[in-house]
Amino acid sequence: MSISVNPESLPCGGCKYCVKVHEQWQDFRTIDNVIPLAAVQHDVNRSGGKEYPGSTSGVIQGAEEGSRECNTTTMALDGVLANTASLAEESAFGIQYTTDQLSSEQAMDPDLQLILHWLQKEEEPPDNIVYMAGPAAKKYLVNKEQFFLDKAVLFNRSKSDQVRLVVPKAYIQEVLILNHDLPITGHQGIDRTTGRVKKKFYWYKMGDMIKEYVRTCNVCNKNKKPTRKARCPLTQYHAGAPMERVHIDFLGPLPETTRGNTNILVMVDQFTKWVEIIPLPSQTAEETAKAAVNEFFTRFGCPFSIHSDQGRNFESNLFKSVCKTLQIHKTRTTAYRPSANGQVERYNRTLMDIVRCFVNKSQKDWDEYLPQLASAIRSSDNRMTGMTPNKMMLGREVNMPIDLVFRPPTEESDECEEAYVSRLIEEIRQAHEIARQKLKTSQEYMKRDYDIKMRKNEYVPGDLVYIIDTASVKGRSKKLDPPWKGPGIIVEKITSYVYRVKLEKSVFVINHDRMKKCNDRNIPAWLKRAQNQLRDGENILVDNGDIYCICRKGDQGAFMIQCDLCDDWYHGTCVNVTPEVAETFATYHCPKCQTPNDI
């Protein structure tokens, strides 16, 4: 029964504001006829004479009467709930399904036939039928007191006295979609989706089914950040002598100084902790190689290996040629993993802390005191070795201003030069031996503390994974972009925790901590083909020994991209495509396949 309100009967006599509001609400006049579901209380008699207060016959009947009066999916509410209404046109409980449809589907469900037989005929089903029934049917029958019929539709009463519709198998998928995938349900997690569904619906092992549905949701897997990140055990790098392993990195760009410098090249010897800090005007490969050789290698000799990130200056052909000429082994981190070069990254933090103490307001003189600041770091005790880098590298402490001001008197020594050299060599040997023991102990403690929060996942070639997307694209908000890209397929296990992963248009070398397993229900066709190829022993990538790309060289371990027309692979540096730009391409056409429209 609808209530008609006349604006003139209001205390204001029908002012213009009330008349305007009354006119605006005319489109929603059908809402006045809706009876709140919580207010519906009916008594229903099941065959057998038992009464079940709070039954749902009024709910279903009201829905049917409302659907006869007007089609709710075509009324003015479409403009308010457009997305929900469009899905409701396809399927939605309480809008399109009648009691006859629900009752018919329940009767055709084999798992519900036993409980329906008991409710309709008031007698136990034959034992031979019960023995042959499935676990769902047996559970329904064992808990038969929780079920009742209303308008021939089967309902369940929970322990908290909630009336829930028993969902037949044909409608389970639909219920899950409407309680998880709609904007109004918001792709919530397992607990919230389970709570939402259990309030109104019931079926056998519904908790496990809801959990699996949410766990395998493509949209959730790609757009939600993990509550617990993967973490592999700490990998240790050992160096037992000076210049055995040197870490190198850049700080910058910084404001240009009066001397024209904008960057800082930082180099750290892993064993002695000796640090070199060099201001440079740019990060080009030529400037980098020249500074490393002239400012460091010519003084202390060439290192056995150099470890850097994947910066273009360190991965350039020029820098690689210098390393090859000097017989230096070049290693690098995986993409977006600065912790793999933590030796120099920690010094970067220390350096910037002390640089800020000596910079003016214009920030144009930050390079003025860099040599003295480097000396300050080298003359300070290192927590890992227990000695200063000066002592470790030079075998003695250097004079500082405090020593010149307050130098204690020294006694003259009759020690000859040979004895002094022998003593100095022995002191260096002892210092290095002590440092090795302390480094070993410190690394063990560090690994113990780090591995407490270890959360390791096991991957093998052929597994489908998502990769953390940390790249930023100009014009797009990082907060609105999916935190994961993919899915992709693991092609090769390079080390214990480093993998080669192929996405649809590119190949990456990724650390274990930047991946998660793909549990999607719907897998792209190209991934299914790739899985079959790997299973058959085929190589879905170009062999390292093959020649391809514009440069006609093999796989160098760097980023590669595949043409969607000719299927040839190209080095990203050769075609001027970075991993971040590659992810924005819908399709990629190589230089030989490009048309004027592509350009």
Q: CA-to-CA distance for 512 and 340, rounded, in angstroms?
A: 12
Map tokens 């519906």 to a residue.
Answer: 40
Least confident range of 18-32, 375-389, 399-413, 504-518 = 18-32
Q: CA-to-CA distance for 472 and 95, rounded, in angstroms?
A: 44
Predicted local distance difference test score (pLDDT) of residue 496: 87
Give the mean pLDDT of 461-480: 87
Closest CA to 564 of 542, 538, 539, 585: 585
Q: pTM of the predicted model, to two decimals?
A: 0.66
User: Residues of 373-406 as b/e, b for ≥16 C-beta within 10 angstroms?
Assistant: bbbebbeeebebbbbbbbbbbbbeeeeeeeeeee
Task: Kindly report, residue by residue over 64-77, the tens digit of the pLDDT.
Answer: 444 333 343 333 33
Q: CA-to-CA distance for 120 and 102, rounded, in angstroms?
A: 16
Higher per-residue confidence, 271 vs 67: 271
Closest CA to 385 of 430, 339, 449, 426: 430
Least confident range of 8-17, 56-65, 236-245 = 56-65
User: How many Cα neighbours within 13 Å face the side chain of 215?
Assistant: 9
Least confident range of 72-81, 120-129, 149-158, 325-334 = 72-81
End-to-end CA distance of the chain: 67
- Whether 296 contacts 328, CB under 8 Å: no
Least confident range of 312-316, 462-466, 559-563, 565-569 = 565-569
Q: And the tokens for 8?
A: 């003139």
CATH class name, domain 463-470+480-536: mainly beta
Q: CA-to-CA distance for 501 and 517, rounded, in angstroms?
A: 12
99-223: which CATH topology? Endonuclease III; domain 1 (1.10.340)
Q: CA-to-CA distance for 22 and 8, rounded, in angstroms?
A: 11
Give the mean pLDDT of 529-555: 72
Q: CA-to-CA distance for 183 and 88, rounded, in angstroms?
A: 13
Q: CA-to-CA distance for 323 and 304, rounded, in angstroms?
A: 10
Q: CA-to-CA distance for 378 and 371, rounded, in angstroms?
A: 11
- Whether 47 contacts 149, CB under 8 Å: yes
Higher per-residue confidence, 530 vs 27: 530
Predicted local distance difference test score (pLDDT) of residue 9: 78
Give the mean pLDDT of 7-20: 78
Predicted local distance difference test score (pLDDT) of residue 594: 80
Task: Kindly report, residue by residue over 130-148, the tens digit of the pLDDT.
Answer: 888 889 999 999 898 999 9
Kindly indicate the confidence band of residue 402, based on its pLDDT and cuts at 50, 70 and 90. confident
Predicted local distance difference test score (pLDDT) of residue 236: 82
Give the mean pLDDT of 356-368: 90
Kindly indicate the confidence band of residue 412, based on its pLDDT and cuts at 50, 70 and 90. low
Give the mean pLDDT of 365-390: 91
Q: And the tokens for 547?
A: 């020649």
Closest CA to 275 of 192, 360, 178, 374: 374
Residue 531, CA distances (Å) to 154, 353, 524 in order: 44, 50, 11
Give the mean pLDDT of 355-373: 90
Predicted local distance difference test score (pLDDT) of residue 544: 43
Res. 410: pLDDT tops 50: yes
Predicted local distance difference test score (pLDDT) of residue 336: 80
Res. 393: pLDDT tops 70: yes
Predicted local distance difference test score (pLDDT) of residue 3: 52
User: Residues of 501-516 as b/e, b for ≥16 C-beta within 10 angstroms?
Assistant: bbbbbbbbbbbbbbbb
Ranges of each domain in the chain: 99-223, 245-404+419-433, 463-470+480-536, 544-598
Q: Which amino acid belongs to residue 281?
A: P
Res. 232: pLDDT tops 90: no
Close Cβ partners of 364 (under 8 Å, ≥ 6 residues apart) = 255, 256, 257, 258
Q: CA-to-CA distance for 7 and 404, rounded, in angstroms?
A: 97
In whole numbers, what is the pLDDT of the chain averaged over residues? Answer: 81
Task: Kindly report, residue by residue over 75-132, the tens digit of the pLDDT.
Answer: 333 333 333 333 334 444 444 688 889 999 999 999 999 999 899 888 888 888 888 8
Q: CA-to-CA distance for 211 and 189, rounded, in angstroms?
A: 9
Give the mean pLDDT of 328-353: 87
- The reply to whether 463-470+480-536 and 544-598 are identical in fold is no
Give the mean pLDDT of 313-329: 90
Predicted local distance difference test score (pLDDT) of residue 177: 94
Give the mean pLDDT of 309-337: 88
- CATH number 3.30.40.10 is the correct assignment for the domain at 544-598: yes
Kindly indicate the confidence band of residue 475, based on its pLDDT and cuts at 50, 70 and 90. confident
Closest CA to 288 of 265, 310, 311: 265
Predicted local distance difference test score (pLDDT) of residue 104: 92
- CATH number 3.30.420.10 is the correct assignment for the domain at 245-404+419-433: yes
CA dihedral 387, 393, 394, 396 (to 10 degrees): 10
Task: Kindly report, residue by residue over 38-50, the tens digit of the pLDDT.
Answer: 333 334 333 333 3
Res. 171: pLDDT tops 50: yes
